[in-house]
Structure 1
Amino acid sequence: MTEVVLYGGKGGVGKTTMAAASALQSAAAGDDTLVVSTDPAHSLGDVTKTDLGGEPTPIRDGLWGVEVDPEAGIDRYQALFETLAAELGEAGIQLDEDEVAALFSSGVVPGSDELAALDGLATYLAADRFDRVVFDTAPTGHTLRLLDLPAVMDRGLATAMDLREQVRRKVDAARTMLFGPMAAGDRETPGKFTDLRERMDRVGAALRDADRTAFHVVTLPETMAVRETERLVAQLREFDVPVASLVVNKVVEDPGDCERCRARHTVQTETLGELERALPEVPVRRVPETHGEVTGLAALERVGTQLAEQ
């Protein structure tokens, strides 16, 4: 089965860099790897210096990249809305578009970034084309909504399927009374609803499967970032998503004679100590601070090597 690796955390901590570096290391080890950006503000193409779009694009041997289109997969859900609305209308129940959307999705707004990201996750898991899929997730709030979506969608789909079946029975009964037994409507299994529900089930199961999924929380050695990291780990555990490591980016390793650098080093050391005491069971990996932005495959290879060595 395809292995799933996710990098998450607050905005600006270096999730894209870590995801791209990890994917590059995976490809170098001989695994066909896809790195996927689900962040609405895509920067994966900039980091890898590759022109990426909504379909997997080669970055180098064994490595492909894709930036999920926020509109990707929405047609699938829109078609279900229209099917349900048509069958309700057939039974004399007239709902406007907003009412049908609310009934079906239980609060999920069609076209949302999270819905598109979830559809991308489901697509690449089902394809089984790659040995490993590495996800550069959106900032924390988006990621948590993404993780909640399979359960939310399941509730909405269950409601929609139940209502659809009730409506079909009433319509069939009315047709039979008027036109006889042969007039009942098509009793085919509601395949689209069932398929989508199974698709969501597979995603939810994969995200909770410690044998195939690892979530790496990226953070900075700063008090506010560490506090958010602690909250994120607690929330991931509520979703039963396995947390594999904490990746602390921009660590000052050797402050030298620079007074400002020594002060930062002292603060970072204290902060890292707090993080390790708060989450002693989660491995901590440190990525040294570098001058300038980490872009291009050579720079990403160095970061990937640092991650792999810890």
Structure 2
Amino acid sequence: MKLSAAITVAAVSGAQAFTAPVNKPLRPASSLSVTQGDLDGAQSMIDGILTEKNCGPVFVRLAWHDSGTHDVSLADKEWPASGGAIGSIRFDPEINHGANAGLAGAIKLLEPVKEAFPGVSYADIFQMASARGIALAGGPEIDMKYGRVDATSPEECSPEGNLPDAEAGPEGKFGGPGGTASTEDESAAWHLRKPTPTEVEFGAEKTKFTDGSATKLADGSETTAYTAGGSPWVEDWLVFNNSYFTTINDASTDEELVKCTSDKCLWEDAGFAPYANKFADQEAFFESYAKAHKALSELGSKFEPVE
């Protein structure tokens, strides 16, 4: 997929598939109790969107950029002060943070799901779309928990700066003083240890892998039904597997594949390298990935019972 990784958690590319900014909330959060029937219906609709649009990568990126704002040092504050998977990414200013470029269109793709099942929170819809995107691309089934409560206003958005950089800025440092706490560091590895998911703000407008030509799906078939553009980490970017861990550290791979400093450091840092090497085995990667995805999807969330 158009994905990168940090520690055992893979993170989504900055493919510029969607660009329209959101300047106002879409639909208000619902106070209705969610039922299992609502969740089943929402999942069916999401599966249909994924099958038609092949938009799993941008749904994963949307969910992770919503949850990845979580600051564990604020977890003892009144919810939702610590950010996280609370659906706040749908609001301006958060949707217009630099790291979230292109994600407004992903929210619009999921808006019909909210309209059909208003009892399902945006936070649940975003995380469900991510998990289903992974599963339908051939990845592991994620043991998801639902019943998340939504943030209700722009005032509950996290400040800009909680998501990390893939490359150093003009002064040679990753991150900056913004956000709820500084993530600034001259080392990519130590910068990654401060935030959670990785995002990328550069890359080619399109490559031979993303120019609208046929690309492989998880079942072995090919499709041209995707939004062209962006730079992938791996050739078969609509298939979820462990090829990231066999590609990034291989100097002979195609020059159009993305290899960020924040990717390469996983094989260079003593703490990360054992995992990067371990995940050359797909079974080991899937086992760890499923646990990491579930944990990330619940960061900062407040849950109400599913009826």
Please state which band the TM-score falls in when normalised by the shorter chain: under 0.3
Q: Give the TM-score normalised by structure 2.
A: 0.24
Larger fraction in helix: 1
Greater RCO between the two (CA within 8 Å, min separation 6)? 2
Larger fraction in strand: 1
Q: Give the TM-score normalised by structure 1.
A: 0.24
Larger radius of gyration: 1
